[in-house]
Amino acid sequence: MSTPSDRSQEPLMTLRAAVILMLGTQIAAAAGVLTVLAGNTWAVAVLAAGGAFAGTVAFARSVIG
């Protein structure tokens, strides 16, 4: 009979996932701020930031191996 493994010492996410999400967050924040500074509303900025986040994460997943 196998014993249950102790998962308390395992990291919550891998370093690769953390880097990809951090990159996506930074690009999304930059896109949102630049959109607001260009004179658009906050709703447009949030939509632009969401698109930038999704695109960055998809691109980074394929590039970072």
**Taking the domains of the chain in order of start, what are their residue ranges?**
13-63
Backbone φ and ψ of 4, nearest 5°:
-65, 140
Whole-structure pTM value: 0.83
Residue 65 pLDDT: 78
Task: Give the whole-angstrom CA distance, residue 28 versus residue 24.
Answer: 6
Residue 60 pLDDT: 97
Instruction: Evaluate the CA torsion angle 20, 13, 50, 58 in order and state its sign.
Output: positive
Q: What is the pLDDT of residues 1-52, one digit of tens each?
A: 566 677 788 889 999 999 999 999 999 999 999 999 999 999 999 999 999 9
